[in-house]
């Protein structure tokens, strides 16, 4: 199996040559917060299928809903007015859940990148319908991540995800992330929030407000290294967007459905967006699903059109796949019944309190940060200067390997070790995760 993996399977987001030389993890089985690899090695799942498996593996109600849907209607499309029962039920459920957000309607797709693409397209079309076709530009954050399609790549901050595919979408501009640990401006988080919000305002003014369609950002950045903005940042962003009429898009692909310790990340900041990009946790990773939630301000403009120009050309064959929609409905039942966001907030705080001590005890841990059950541990080569460990350092990989050996799967992203376990993780399992990581960092430090 390992030889076939190296020979036949092309691994995206991994160096093909390196993959052929190493023996990567091959996961064979999952149950709750545990996974087993093909060698029978049992591990706590600290990755959660890349922020997706919120209810853990082999969740019985989700499995039963999937099987029942297989028997009732395995597949039909949501396309050109045709739809199916689960899609309608799920759209109603989401709009009701997001009533405090002022969400009016939901457009489905098949994953996070698709949900982002949908939001960017709806933003441009919204301005065209309003007779302001010049408003086509997008502004986003330098450490932001918004998926792999051309629109999402164009608003992505990290150039590593873009460079090989340029030229990208014209009219995309990036401003500084309010990042407490790495910024040249200030150590005062509130002042940092003001400075970075002001940078966004300056960029809007510089571009010409009547040319900017939308600002897109994650309420808490995930892939960029789990970067939590100061509490005043999003409220200021909302004010600035309102001042210039710019649409605000919240990419909640990671933060949505409890991961941030709130049902939606925007609730952390007491701010409403105009659109929310949703995926991953919506169906607990069981079947791929994406959704773009759209507020009344936007929906009304589309509803008012009588010319046909408001038909949105963003229908995938597998948008709102019935099995995915059934999985999502069963997922949302449990997320609400078990108060998964509250649980994530409580055990996440415990996780962070314990691991924060690594900053004092480990010579190469510079920062530990996060909210809910999204946690980043940044490894540095120079603590005083806060110099992130470079790609050539083998230390992050050695920490991951030591954790793996001790029974914990983690993810390394650049200098960061990222933890995103299933949201059903117990306090005891969190303690186990911390024990393993403390041991792994200590072993590598020796």
CA 376/CA 68 separation, integer angstroms: 38
For position 113 contacting ligand PMP by CB under 6 A, the verdict is yes
For position 111 contacting ligand PMP by CB under 6 A, the verdict is yes
Considering only 116, 120, 419, 437, the residue that binds ligand PMP (CB under 6 A) is 116
Give whole-number Cα distances, 412 to 29, 225, 229, 278, 380, in Å.
Answer: 22, 10, 22, 24, 14
Residue 290 CB, nearest approach to ligand PMP (Å): 7
Considering only 45, 194, 201, 251, the residue that binds ligand PMP (CB under 6 A) is 251
Mask of contacts with ligand PMP, 211-230, x by CB under 6 A?
A: -------x---xx-------
Residue 145 CB, nearest approach to ligand PMP (Å): 5
Q: Three-class SS of residue 315?
A: coil
Residue 158 or residue 207: which is nearer to ligand PMP going by CB?
A: 158
Residue 55 CB, nearest approach to ligand PMP (Å): 17
Stretch that binds ligand PMP, among 1-9, 168-176, 208-216, 246-254 (CB under 6 A): 246-254
Residue 19 or residue 148: which is nearer to ligand PMP going by CB?
A: 148
For position 112 contacting ligand PMP by CB under 6 A, the verdict is yes
| Residue 285 Rama label (left phi>0; alpha psi -120 to 50; beta) | left
For position 253 contacting ligand PMP by CB under 6 A, the verdict is yes
CA 395/CA 380 separation, integer angstroms: 10
Residue 359 and residue 366 in contact, taking contact as beta carbons nearer than 8 Å: yes
Q: How many residues bind ligand PMP (CB under 6 A)?
A: 15
Residue 32 and residue 45 in contact, taking contact as beta carbons nearer than 8 Å: no
Considering only 248, 268, 279, 323, the residue that binds ligand PMP (CB under 6 A) is 279
| Non-local CB neighbours of 431 within 8 Å, separated by 6+ positions | 350, 354
Q: Is 138 exposed, middle or buried (0-12, 13-18, 19+ CB in 10 A)?
A: buried
Mask of contacts with ligand PMP, 144-163, x by CB under 6 A?
A: -xxx----------------
Rounded to the nearest 10°, the torsion over CA 92, 94, 96, 101 is -140
| Non-local CB neighbours of 105 within 8 Å, separated by 6+ positions | 91, 95, 293, 294, 299
Mask of contacts with ligand PMP, 393-412, x by CB under 6 A?
A: --------------------
Residue 253 or residue 419: which is nearer to ligand PMP going by CB?
A: 253
Residue nearest to ligand PMP (CB): 112
Residue 300 CB, nearest approach to ligand PMP (Å): 26
Measured in whole angstroms, the distance separating CA 61 from the mean position of its chain's CA atoms is 24
Q: Three-class SS of residue 119?
A: helix
For the beta carbon of residue 382, count every other beta carbon within 10 angstroms. Answer: 11
Which residues bind to ligand PMP, rule: CB under 6 A? 50, 111-113, 116, 145-147, 218, 222-223, 251, 253-254, 279
């Amino acid at each position: 199996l390992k030889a076939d993996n190296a020979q036949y399977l092309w691994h995206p987001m991994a160096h093909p040559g390196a993959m052929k030389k190493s023996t990567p993890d091959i996961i064979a089985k999952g149950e709750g917060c545990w996974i087993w690899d093909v060698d029978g090695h049992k591990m706590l799942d600290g990755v959660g299928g890349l922020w997706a498996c919120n209810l853990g593996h082999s969740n019985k109600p989700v499995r039963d809903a999937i099987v029942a849907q297989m028997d009732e209607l395995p597949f039909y499309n949501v396309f050109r007015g045709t739809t199916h029962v689960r899609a309608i039920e799920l759209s109603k459920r989401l709009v009701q859940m997001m009533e405090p957000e002022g969400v009016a309607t939901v457009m489905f797709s098949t994953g996070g990148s698709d949900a982002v693409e949908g939001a960017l397209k709806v933003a441009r079309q919204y301005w065209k319908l309003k007779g302001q076709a010049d408003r086509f530009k997008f502004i986003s954050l330098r450490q932001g991540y918004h998926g792999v399609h051309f629109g999402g790549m164009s608003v992505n901050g990290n150039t590593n995800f873009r460079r090989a595919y340029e030229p990208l979408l014209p009219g995309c501009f990036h401003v500084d992330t309010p990042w407490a640990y790495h910024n040249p401006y200030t150590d005062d988080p509130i002042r940092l929030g003001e400075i970075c919000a002001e940078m966004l305002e300056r960029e809007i003014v510089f571009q010409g407000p009547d040319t900017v369609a939308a600002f897109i950002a994650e309420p808490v950045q995930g892939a960029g290294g789990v970067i939590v903005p100061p509490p005043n940042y999003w409220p200021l962003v909302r004010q600035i967007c309102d001042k210039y009429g710019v649409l605000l898009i919240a990419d909640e692909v990671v933060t949505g459905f409890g991961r941030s310790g709130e049902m939606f990340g925007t609730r952390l900041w007491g701010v409403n967006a105009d659109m929310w990009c949703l995926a991953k946790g919506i169906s607990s990773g069981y079947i791929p699903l994406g959704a773009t939630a759209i507020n009344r301000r936007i929906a009304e403009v589309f509803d008012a059109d009588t010319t046909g120009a408001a038909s949105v050309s963003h229908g995938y064959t597998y948008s709102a796949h019935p099995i995915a929609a059934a999985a999502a409905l069963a997922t949302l039942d449990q997320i609400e019944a078990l108060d998964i966001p509250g649980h994530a907030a409580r055990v996440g705080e415990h996780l962070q309190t314990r691991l924060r001590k690594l900053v004092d005890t480990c010579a190469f841990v510079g920062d530990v940060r996060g909210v809910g059950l999204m946690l980043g541990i940044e490894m540095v080569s120079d603590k005083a200067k806060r110099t992130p460990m470079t790609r050539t350092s083998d230390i992050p990989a050695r920490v991951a390997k030591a954790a793996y050996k001790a029974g914990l799967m983690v993810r390394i992203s650049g200098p960061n070790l990222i933890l995103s376990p299933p949201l059903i993780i117990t306090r005891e399992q969190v303690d186990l995760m911390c024990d393993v990581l403390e041991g792994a960092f200590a072993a590598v430090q020796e």
